Structure 1
């Protein structure tokens, strides 16, 4: 009888990295919802997003007054960037945040699939920096939008307004991004094993059937 050694390689998937990947996916979905929605700010039969504002029938509470003094007509209209140019800036930062987060999520997925320890660590390390950049971009948009709108509200005769669900959804995206960054930082792959080997030794029988 001759001993036979079998080496079994077991790949270990880090739970925190998987959760970070999920956080990146949810953040991307929420950012798309925020960009597409027209409910960042709400007033009486009025809603406003990053690109459009919509006025419903018999609305008497338009939160801003156009320079020409004309009352906004019923329906959805493109925001006058001469009056509310900050919405374009906020939209640009949200779009940048979405694209950067998408890239960070792809890097995290590549890290999860990669078998080479060195490349895996590089993927995760790069994903941390990229996702942090996405977080900063969306926070800038979330701060710019209400601050600049408040300046317009000071000149408005109808100061009654509130934040819509899309603004809250974008804050939700920032929370997911923050969680993804923390999870990628906490689970340090450089200090842990990526795989382990199991050696099985057994006796090979010379009996033949």
Structure 2
């Protein structure tokens, strides 16, 4: 007896490398933004530095006294004593952007783990939208921060030589990584490469299979 031949067609989806790279960029962006938000080194002048949540005076302040009225004593920190409005606004925008970036990374992971092609498309679309919104909020906050400070710089007393510190640069780095992830998700419009694999199965005759 001749073996019974049966041919099946299977749809196989292959994950594109851009999906993995975009996820890596989002994870890096999350880490950088957390470091930036937790730091007090956004702006500095002499021994004084300020972040979004605290301002500090270095212990090596030459006068051994607060550098200006309202500044913390050398070697200590406290909450911002002035210009709280734009600092709070920048912090809220960046925290919201961080939440969107985190959700985008999670949706990307869910999309990668899904076997259903339509389900993948849906989760990748959510990840793209959230990463785009995160970039927009980051840009608004990072542009507003130095502009608002320049307008209110007189609140710190006599004119000083101010400069942005490393935390501000790290926040920009996080924004660029999120932007890169967003661009890769947008450009990869096909989301997944779907190809079809033909598989032929040979079944033995019934009288042989019963033995």
SS in 2 for 1:111: helix
State the 1:188 CA deviation: 1.1
Q: Deviation string for 1:67-93 (max 9, x for gaps)?
A: xx456422111112x533211111111
The farther-off stretch of 154-163 and 169-178 is 154-163
Superposition TM-score, scaled by structure 1 size = 0.84
| Residues 44, 60 of structure 1: 8 Å contact kept | no
State the 1:6 CA deviation: 6.0
Pick one of 44, 47, 65 that aligns with 1:45: 47
Corresponding residue of 1:201 = 200
Corresponding residue of 2:111 = 111
Superposition TM-score, scaled by structure 2 size = 0.83
Q: Could you list the runs of 5+ residues in structure 1 that have no partner in the other structure?
A: none
Corresponding residue of 2:170 = 169
CA-atom RMSD, angstroms? 2.8
* Structure 1 residues 187 and 58, CA gap change in structure 2 (3 angstroms): closer
Counterparts of 1:21-40 in structure 2, within 5 Å, are 21-40=23-42
Counterparts of 1:32-111 in structure 2, within 5 Å, are 32-57=34-59, 59=61, 69=69, 72-74=72-74, 75-80=76-81, 82-111=82-111
Corresponding residue of 2:190 = 189
* Structure 1 residues 200 and 88, CA gap change in structure 2 (3 angstroms): same
Corresponding residue of 2:133 = 133
* Structure 2: distance between partners of 1:141 and 1:119: 33
Q: Could you list the runs of 5+ residues in structure 2 that have no partner in the other structure?
A: none
Corresponding residue of 1:14 = 16
Q: Deviation string for 1:131-154 (max 9, x for gaps)?
A: 111111111110121111112324
* Structure 2: distance between partners of 1:105 and 1:203: 44
